[in-house]
Amino acid sequence: KAGVTQTPRYLIKTRGQQVTLSCSPISGHRSVSWYQQTPGQGLQFLFEYFSETQRNKGNFPGRFSGRQFSNSRSEMNVSTLELGDSALYLCASSSMGGLAGGPRYNEQFFGPGTRLTVL
């Protein structure tokens, strides 16, 4: 079974530009979450989508947005890039449909990440 895939793996942008990152979850997984990882702040939750609906949102400005498609693939967009947006962006998927109460219910699996550098 293929894991979580993210594209592109690396991106270099300049301030003021916008960027779109893509995440394909494990087949059958309907929940996709996004995280930003920086050396100073660690891993911070951006948002979570389930069945094309945003269910939770972290404390990030409106420049950060996302969406999920009917095939569960998800994209996140960052507009008007700032230097501080340089980070590793990680996406995670989980089944949320496994055997409730089972030992691996709601286990989350991460992709390799997209390294965004803003110059």
Partner 1 sequence: KQEVTQIPAALSVPEGENLVLNCSFTDSAIYNLQWFRQDPGKGLTSLLLIQSSQREQTSGRLNASLDKSSGRSTLYIAASQPGDSATYLCAVVQGGSEKLVFGKGTKLTVNP
Interactions with partner 1, residue window 52-91 (CB under 8 A): 55-56, 58, 88, 90
Shortest gap between Cβ of 59 and partner 1 (angstroms)?
Answer: 10
Instruction: Say whether residue 92 binds partner 1 (CB under 8 A).
Output: yes
Nearer to partner 1, 81 or 90 (CB): 90
Whether residue 78 contacts residue 60, with contact meaning beta carbons closer than 8 Å, is answered with no
Please name the amino acid found at residue 43: L
Whether residue 31 contacts residue 94, with contact meaning beta carbons closer than 8 Å, is answered with yes
Shortest CA distance to 115 belongs to which of 25, 40, 21?
21
Q: In what order do the strands lie in the sheet with 74-78?
A: 5-7, 19-24, 74-78, 64-68
Among 35, 68, 76, 87, binds partner 1 (CB under 8 A): 35
Shortest gap between Cβ of 18 and partner 1 (angstroms)?
Answer: 24
Token pair, residue 90, equals 């990680």
Number of residues in contact with partner 1, rule: CB under 8 A? 31
Q: Site residues (CB under 8 A) for partner 1?
A: 4, 6, 31, 33, 35, 42-43, 45, 48, 50, 55-56, 58, 88, 90, 92, 94, 96, 101, 103-113, 115
